[in-house]
A and B are shown apart, each in its own frame.
Chain A
Amino acid sequence: MNTVVKAAAAYLIVLFVIRLIGRRTASQQAPIDMVVLFLFGGLSVSAVLGDDHSFTGAMSALLTVGLMHVAVSWLKLRFVWFERIVDGTPIVVYRDGVWDEARMRQLRMQQADIRTAARQQGLDDLDKVAVGIVERDGKVSIIEKA
């Protein structure tokens, strides 16, 4: 399999593995999340380039990944179902004092994550929070009560 095909396959596999293991890893910078991202990078390089240490090989892989990124971005723009698969959708995990425990378990989020987001927005009480949303990139948005 040549470098171009391997780079394209690696791009898609890494993209979907990151999606499958959950959106937490994509956004958090805790040690366990960084371990995953660093190892993904290192292992992918050796899988794509193998013993090919040439400049041409490395550049062909790099440009392939760049083009794959452009292609995936275009497909996201063109097909809403593809955008949702690649990026997911926002998820409401807290609304008017009620936690959506099932969604939080799925996202491996804790109440502390929502409280942290509320504090970062200058709120000192969850009663002031109307909705807590886990965004597509894994970050938490807080909407205050009117």
Chain B
Amino acid sequence: MEVIHKDPPMREEIAAGFYPAFEDGWRRAEIAGRFGMLAFVALCALGLLGHGPFSERTRTNADDSITIRYEPVVRFGAPTILRLDTRVPPGGDKVAVTIAKNLVDLFGLESITPRPETWQVAGANIRLVFPVLQGETRALIRFTGSPSFRGGVDLTARLDAGETLSWSQYAVP
């Protein structure tokens, strides 16, 4: 077999301590790599790369009809929760929320609590109607899903008579 690397004689290598300059350089790379690992683990532990103690954000639309708690950064295929806190029309016993189709498709929607009374296709969106106890002023709706997209996606939700609330989620692999 052809010798591609012709190493010096063994005695010379041992006398020179092999390749201390390389090992010094590798030691620096090792330390940098360990700090990199520590930084990545810290980001994950804090929830900046998916679910964690600081992963949730809250966003409210201009007319305060919908407030959402969501995770701006989610992990592909990992469960995540969206909580919509919506205003109930005065005297009403139903709340209708129109959500972006992407919420069902890309978000990998698995369950909605409470269960919607009706689902209606509304253009590129889906309109969901939820029963609400008479007299309630706010309704909390919980969507759970496992994102089936990578990268960013823009999502929207709005009440029948309300401003559109938009938010973005970014899925890491």
- A131 cross-chain contacts in B, Cβ below 8 A: 14
CB distance from A47 to the nearest CB of B (A): 9
List residues 89-145 of chain A with CB under 8 A from any CB of chain B: 89-92, 95, 103, 106, 131, 133, 143
Assess A88 versus B5: contact at CB under 8 Å? Given A17-B37, A20-B37, A51-B77: no
Q: A44-76, CB under 8 A of B: which get 1 and which 0? A: 000000110000000000000000000000000
- A133 cross-chain contacts in B, Cβ below 8 A: 14, 18
CB distance from B99 to the nearest CB of A (A): 25
Assess A84 versus B150: contact at CB under 8 Å? Given A20-B34, A106-B27: no
Assess A92 versus B23: contact at CB under 8 Å? Given A1-B150, A20-B37: no
- B37 cross-chain contacts in A, Cβ below 8 A: 17, 20
- B110 cross-chain contacts in A, Cβ below 8 A: none
Docked Cα-Cα span, A78 to B151, in Å, equals 37
Docked Cα-Cα span, A137 to B65, in Å, equals 63
List residues 18-49 of chain B with CB under 8 A from any CB of chain A: 18-19, 22-23, 26-27, 30, 33-34, 37
**B124 within 8 A of partner (CB):** no
Docked Cα-Cα span, A45 to B56, in Å, equals 29
CB distance from A81 to the nearest CB of B (A): 8
- How many residues in A have their beta carbons less than 8 Å from beta carbons of B? 26
- B13 cross-chain contacts in A, Cβ below 8 A: 90
Docked Cα-Cα span, A95 to B17, in Å, equals 9
Q: Report whether B33 and A20 are in contact in the complex, using a CB–CB cutoff of 8 Å.
A: yes
Q: Report whether B14 and A143 are in contact in the complex, using a CB–CB cutoff of 8 Å.
A: yes
Assess A90 versus B150: contact at CB under 8 Å? Given A16-B33, A20-B34: no
Q: Report whether A80 and B17 are in contact in the complex, using a CB–CB cutoff of 8 Å.
A: no
In the A-B complex, the 8 residue pairs with the smallest Cβ-Cβ separation, listed nearest first, are: A20-B33, A89-B19, A92-B17, A90-B18, A80-B5, A89-B18, A1-B173, A84-B22
**B4 within 8 A of partner (CB):** yes
- A17 cross-chain contacts in B, Cβ below 8 A: 37
A-B contact sample (14 more), CB < 8 A, given A51-B77, A106-B30? A1-B150, A19-B30, A20-B30, A20-B33, A20-B34, A77-B4, A78-B4, A83-B5, A85-B26, A89-B22, A90-B13, A91-B18, A91-B23, A92-B14
